[in-house]
């Protein structure tokens, strides 16, 4: 490839933008006239724009760092790095679809990872050569820990009527503190070899298992949200809780289920994190909650509930990762990602507000 001057890069970026714009316009017009079909409905919304943004970012980084960004290695690394976040973001999507928020996910993940690792290290024995029974026990403990925190969140929100922001801020502190107390702040580094093998394993020697598993979670989440009664109730509650109640939906019970699901997915993500890093990574989850929430919001889920797509969330998880990787490869400080994600977050919420205001005026 020929040398890339700043001027040329700008010209290329402009050319891409000019070409993508009418395409997006045509697609919106098309999906508006059709109005039907799952694909058209999903892509007719914010998700289409977010997807175009993701593609544009990847193209730009590929142009600016030819042969470095879109390599097999880098794409695989990015996919692996978003897989844990995607799993908790799917749970967060359901919570936010009800008009709530779950701040506790990253620390519930941490707590679940610690309890799971400790159970596998029970009695101080080295579990490196332990078999599937110990691994399975570790998985059950991780899921159970997450589920317990999730149910607590749900009870506090639905029954005690504590606003979700405060309820999950409370359990954030509790799960964080307990995780530090249980672990003495020390990472547990001895885990069954089988777990590490799972974390490092790849399908066809190409796609990491964890990426496949995270994708499966996202697919199941998308199907649940769009095609099942559980998803319908989730959106109905977020759209108008009183209407859902009057329609005979047991709103409290459903909210508990949704928070429980978010907690359990955080527990599952904890197990995936153990598999990838073969340690509890105690200091590594400080921003998981905000990253998950940012991903959900960037993906077009409304902050006030009622509108949500798992497809959008999946793209919303990828955009910060692409920015992080791109900035790092280009030699900028990776903190530019945080700046960019913050700006995109505000834009996404602004777009949602505009949409609502337009709607209310009609």
Partner 1 sequence: MAQPLLQARGIVKHYGHVEALRGCDFDVYPNEIVALIGDNGAGKSTLIKILAGSEQADEGEITLEGRRIHVGSPFEAMRLGIETVYQDLALAPDLDGSANLYLGRELMRPGLLGRLGFLDNGAMRAGARQAFGELGVDLQNAQSAVANLSGGQRQSVAVARSVAWASKVVFLDEPTAALGVVQTGRVLETVRRIRERGVAAVLISHNMRQVLEVADRIEVMRLGRRVARFEGKKATIEQLVSAMTGGIAEEGAA
Residue 244 in contact with partner 1, rule: CB under 8 A: yes
Q: For partner 1, which residue of 248, 283, 331, 361 counts as binding (CB under 8 A)?
A: 248
Residue 239 in contact with partner 1, rule: CB under 8 A: yes
Is the distance from CB of 98 to CB of 157 less than 8 angstroms?
A: no
Q: For partner 1, which residue of 10, 189, 193, 246 counts as binding (CB under 8 A)?
A: 246
Q: Six-digit token pair at 360?
A: 């209310």
Residue 8 in contact with partner 1, rule: CB under 8 A: no
Q: Six-digit token pair at 157?
A: 């929100």
Cα angle 228, 233, 236 (rounded to 5 degrees) comes to 125
Q: State the minimum distance, in angstroms, from the CB of residue 242 to partner 1.
A: 7
Angstrom distances, CA of residue 135 to CA of 2, 142, 280: 52, 11, 15
- Cα-atom radius of gyration of the chain, to the nearest Å? 21
Per CB under 8 A, which of residues 175..234 are in contact with partner 1? 224, 227-230, 232
Element (H, E) at 272: helix 251-277
Residue 242 in contact with partner 1, rule: CB under 8 A: yes
Residue 361 in contact with partner 1, rule: CB under 8 A: no
Q: Which stretch binds partner 1 (CB under 8 A): 144-152, 210-218, 241-249, 268-276?
A: 241-249
Nearer to partner 1, 189 or 229 (CB): 229
List all residues 6 or more positions away from 311 whose beta carbon is below 8 Å from its beta carbon: 42, 47, 222, 299
Q: For partner 1, which residue of 88, 103, 135, 307 counts as binding (CB under 8 A)?
A: 307
Nearer to partner 1, 36 or 124 (CB): 36
Is the distance from CB of 295 to CB of 313 less than 8 angstroms?
A: yes
Q: State the minimum distance, in angstroms, from the CB of residue 361 to partner 1.
A: 11
Residue 235 in contact with partner 1, rule: CB under 8 A: yes
How far is residue 257's CA from residue 254's CA, in Å, rounded to a whole number? 5
Q: State the minimum distance, in angstroms, from the CB of residue 163 to partner 1.
A: 21
Residue 100 in contact with partner 1, rule: CB under 8 A: no
Question: Could you tell me which of 89, 83, 81 has the C-alpha nearest to residue 325?
Answer: 81
Per CB under 8 A, which of residues 35..64 are in contact with partner 1? 35-36, 41
Q: State the minimum distance, in angstroms, from the CB of residue 33 to partner 1.
A: 10
How far is residue 170's CA from residue 272's CA, in Å, rounded to a whole number? 25
Beta bridge partners of 202: 208
**Which residue shows structure tokens 């490092």?**
200
Q: State the minimum distance, in angstroms, from the CB of residue 183 to partner 1.
A: 38
Q: For partner 1, which residue of 106, 306, 316, 326 counts as binding (CB under 8 A)?
A: 306
How far is residue 263's CA from residue 269's CA, in Å, rounded to a whole number? 10
Footprint on this chain of partner 1 (rule: CB under 8 A) = 35-36, 41, 224, 227-230, 232, 235-236, 238-240, 242-244, 246-249, 302, 306-307, 359-360, 362
């Amino acid at each position: 490839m020929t040398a890339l001057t700043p001027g040329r890069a700008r010209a290329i970026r402009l050319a891409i933008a000019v070409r993508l714009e009418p395409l997006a316009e045509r697609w919106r017009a098309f999906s508006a006239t059709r109005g039907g079909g799952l694909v058209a409905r999903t892509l007719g919304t914010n998700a289409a724009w977010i997807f175009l943004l993701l593609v544009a970012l990847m193209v730009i980084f590929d142009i600016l760092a030819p042969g470095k960004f879109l390599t097999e290695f880098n794409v695989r690394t990015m996919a692996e790095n978003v897989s844990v976040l995607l799993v908790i973001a799917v749970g967060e999507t359901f919570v936010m679809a009800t008009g709530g928020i779950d701040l506790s996910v990253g620390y519930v993940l941490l707590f679940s990872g610690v309890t799971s690792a400790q159970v596998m290290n029970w009695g101080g024995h080295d579990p490196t050569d332990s078999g599937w029974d110990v691994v399975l026990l570790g998985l059950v403990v991780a899921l159970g820990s997450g589920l317990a925190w999730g149910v607590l969140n749900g009870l506090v929100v639905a029954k005690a009527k504590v606003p979700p922001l405060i309820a999950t801020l409370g359990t954030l502190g509790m799960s964080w503190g307990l995780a530090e107390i249980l672990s003495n702040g020390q990472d547990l580094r001895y885990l069954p070899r089988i777990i590490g093998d799972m974390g490092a394993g790849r399908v066809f020697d190409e796609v990491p298992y964890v990426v496949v598993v995270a994708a499966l979670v996202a697919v199941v989440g998308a199907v649940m949200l769009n095609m099942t009664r559980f998803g319908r109730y989730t959106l109905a509650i977020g759209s108008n809780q009183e209407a859902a109640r009057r329609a005979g939906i047991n709103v409290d019970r459903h909210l508990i289920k949704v928070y429980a699901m978010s907690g359990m997915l955080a527990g599952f993500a904890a197990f995936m994190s153990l598999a990838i890093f073969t340690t509890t990574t105690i200091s590594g989850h400080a921003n998981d909650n905000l990253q998950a929430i940012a991903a959900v919001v960037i993906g077009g889920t409304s902050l006030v509930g009622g509108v949500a797509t798992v497809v959008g969330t999946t793209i919303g998880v990828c955009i910060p990762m692409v920015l992080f990787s791109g900035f790092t490869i280009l030699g900028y400080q990776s903190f530019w990602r945080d700046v960019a994600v913050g700006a995109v977050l505000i834009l996404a919420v602004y777009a949602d507000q505009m949409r609502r205001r337009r709607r209310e005026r009609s």
